[in-house]
Structure 1
Amino acid sequence: MEMREIGKSGIRANALALGCWAIGGGEWWGTNDDEMSVKTILRGLDLGIHWIDTARVYGFGHSEEVIGQALKQTDRSRVILSTKCGLQWYDHGGEVHFTKEGNTVSRDLSPKAIRRDLELSLKALGTDYIDVYYTHWQCKTYGKVPVAETMGELLRMKEEGKIRAIGASNVDLKVLKDYVAAGELDVIQEKLSILDRKAETDLLPFCEANGITLQTYSPIEQGLLAGKAPDDYVPGKGEVREGKTWWKQENIRTANEMLAGWKDLTDKYRCSLANLCIKWNSMVSPKINVLCGARKLSQIEDTAKSMDIPMSKEDYLRMRRDADRAIGKQV
């Protein structure tokens, strides 16, 4: 699997990473088999997927706990571990972000809040350092907590050896520039799929110009691009797909029509539709790392095949054109 450096950190990772939001379960993702989740993580390591990503808020700490169980069964040095701070439900500080499972979650990137998050994450994960530490969601009110204050605390954590690289998730270009001005930012995390390419317009060019990795999430639109959703599928109340644009029935039909047109590509490369879309994502830029979720052995084993596809530039451009037509039909 292709190796790419994470920003300027000196840390090298495979171009494909394992996202562990779903492993947290709860109302977002439903009940999980934690033992299977652990097996999935360990199988991913064996297949070369060494970057494991989570967040303090995923499953309200449960995702980190499950990863911690997996880490006990392997050599910590095999793993590039990232988690995120700044979404807290412990007190009423910050700005309210959402309410879930009886918890009111607030965005709080104050030095006190992110320090508390770090210590809780280290305990849950059973490790004494985090390889990549992200701020999860930025302040709703610009400047409520100045980026320089947040970055100052992150740099102190780095000096202490508790984190190795600094990242920011869900940023706009203005805030991204603030992070770069304030300190050493190596990676950002933002959505990018063949059906949602907004990050290409501003974030990606800035990252490429400044040596920053863009770790992309939702490359298969939370399962839609796997091609298994029926045209009449309706997400359940409270599920993560509820209210998402591409999960409207009209848009599911449009996506399925596009995917049906790629049968010759799946036959040519002997791969799944998900493999095609993940590989496509990785070809957008050499500064991209693709984040894919999995909580079953079959999922991680299929996902791992994606980077081995010898996709031609011609097929890459054809997929982009087909997706452009689908985006034009979106309602």
Structure 2
Amino acid sequence: MEYRKLGTTDLNLSSITYGAFAIGGSMWGGNEKKDSIDAIHASLDHGVTSLDTAPFYGFGLSETLIGEAIKEKDRSKIQILSKFGLVWDKSNQGKGKYFFDATDDQGNRVPVYKFASKANIIKEVEESLKRLGTDYLDLLQIHWPDATTPIAETMETMDLLIQQGKIRAAGVCNYDLSQIKTAGETIKLASNQVSYSMLNRGIETDVVPYSLANDISIIAYSPLERGLLTGKYFKDSKLKSDDHRNGYFGQFQLDKVEAFVNKIQPIAAAKNATLSQLVLRWTTLQPGITIVLAGARNAQQAIENAGAVDIQISEEELKFIGKNLAQLNK
């Protein structure tokens, strides 16, 4: 495994970090508790020391499962990354800006709001610490920008939590360049977690250059486009009706993506690697990308993800992939 420094902090995270959205079950067609915990254990056993979660993932379930999985582990060797700012509980409903309707495991509609006030951040962090069974978070991130709360208030609160020892570093998610600059007026950000993949490279224009120039790490989520770039969903793989990917995949020209996947598949095969491993490794090698999140719902997937760092991609192969990506994205 490779370990990379997060911003200007003293945190070193595994370049492949475990993404814990799917094990929350909600929006992913449910989950299996034992498989989820096995996936976390397999990740840790194969050098993945960093776990990225959020209160919203499974309405607390993802954090709870991580807490259970690591309770017998050496906490000092694990980095927990969590978030705040998506609220669904009745005490906060209607506060902040409405985001979307989620569905709980009973099939009930749950309105979700973006809300990042000082009081809510402190409340959410205490709840996360309890679910995770720890007394600090290595990285705390605002999940989505909240237009109803001044960015300075949100950043000042994270700075306070650093001073209190509740968190070791502060980051943001889904911030554009203007928001990153505004946040930087109040606090030194460690990271910005954003969507980035072979099919989604918009941040390369402005966010990546600014982050490189200002020592802000980029944490890439959805590098596999929620499984699309694994190739398996072109082979009659069925998704459950409540899986959000039924709609998510519709944003892509699937025939073109399938053709691209078929062109790069031989590179993976020649290395005795899976397509997923090739895609993850390519992502770790892109300028400005410090950490790549990879979800796993069972031990086998976790081991496969961790093995991505062992792949060597030559300059010629990178050029070939880049050439075909340019054609795909025309």
Identity over aligned pairs, percent: 34
Question: Shift in Å at residue 88 of structure 1?
Answer: 0.8
Output the CA distance in 1 between the equivalents of 2:6 and 2:77: 16
Q: SS at 1:130's partner residue?
A: coil
Give 1:18's aligned residue. 18
- Tell me the SS of whatever aligns to 2:60: helix
Secondary structure at the counterpart of residue 80 of structure 2 = strand
- Give the match's secondary structure for 2:246: coil
2:192 paired with 1:188: yes
Could you say which residue in structure 1 is the equivalent of 2:205? Answer: 201
State the match for 2:135 in structure 1: 128
- Residues 234 and 248 in structure 1, CA contact (< 8 A), matched pair in contact too: no
CA contact (8 A) 1:128 1:162 kept: yes
Q: Which runs of no fewer than 5 residues in structure 1 stay unpaired?
A: none
Structure 1 position 230 matched with structure 2 position 229: no
SS where residue 169 of structure 2 aligns?
strand
Give CA deviations for 1:27-77 in whole Å, capped at 9, x if unaligned. x11121111111110110110001100001100001011001001131111
CA distance in 1, matches of 2:30, 2:288: 36
Match of 1:161 in 2: 165
- CA displacement, residues 198-238 of structure 1 (integer Å, 9 cap, x when unaligned): 11111111110000110000111111111111267786554
Question: 2:153: which partner in 1?
Answer: 149
Shift of 1:153: 0.7
The alignment's C-alpha RMSD in Å is 1.6
CA distance in 2, matches of 1:293, 1:236: 18
Separation in 1 of the partners of 2:295 and 2:65? 14
2:116 is paired with a residue of what secondary structure?
Answer: coil
Q: Which secondary structure state, in structure 1, belongs to the residue aligned with residue 313 of structure 2?
A: coil
List aligned pairs for 1:96-107, cutoff 5 A.
Answer: 96-101=98-103, 102-107=109-114
What's the offset of the Cα at 1:264? 2.6
Q: Which moved more, 1:318-327 or 1:206-215?
A: 318-327
In structure 1, what is the Cα distance between the partners aligned to 2:250 and 2:327? Answer: 17
> What is the distance in 2 between the residues matched to 1:298 and 1:218?
19
Partners of 1:208 and 1:287 within 8 A in 2 = no
For 1:195 and 1:170, locate their aligned partners in 2 and report how far apart those are by CA, in whole Å: 17
Q: In 2, Cα distance between the equivalents of 1:87 and 1:183? A: 21
User: Secondary structure of 2:138's partner?
Assistant: strand
SS at match of 1:311: coil
Distance in 2 (CA, whole Å) between partners of 1:263 and 1:39 is 28
| Contact 1:231/1:252 (<8 A) preserved | no
Alignment of 1:66-105 (within 5 A): 66-90=65-89, 91=92, 92-101=94-103, 102-105=109-112
1:38 counterpart = 2:37: yes
Q: Secondary structure at the match of 1:49?
A: coil
Give 2:143's aligned amino acid.
Answer: H
Partner secondary structure for residue 295 of structure 1: coil
3-state DSSP of counterpart to 1:41: helix
The separation in 1 between residues aligned to 2:145 and 2:265, in whole angstroms, is 40
**Partner amino acid for 1:119?**
E
Which of 73-82 and 279-288 deviates more?
279-288
With the length of structure 2 as denominator, give the TM-score of the two structures: 0.93
Q: Quick one: which amino acid aligns to residue 276 of structure 1? A: L
Do structure 1's residue 266 and structure 2's residue 265 form an aligned pair?
no
> How many residue pairs get matched?
322
Other structure's SS at 1:270 match: coil
Tell me the CA shift for residue 240 of structure 1. Answer: 2.2
Which string of whole-angstrom CA distances, capped at 9 and with x for unpartnered residues, describes residues 106-150 of structure 1?
1111101111110000001010000000000112x3xx3111111
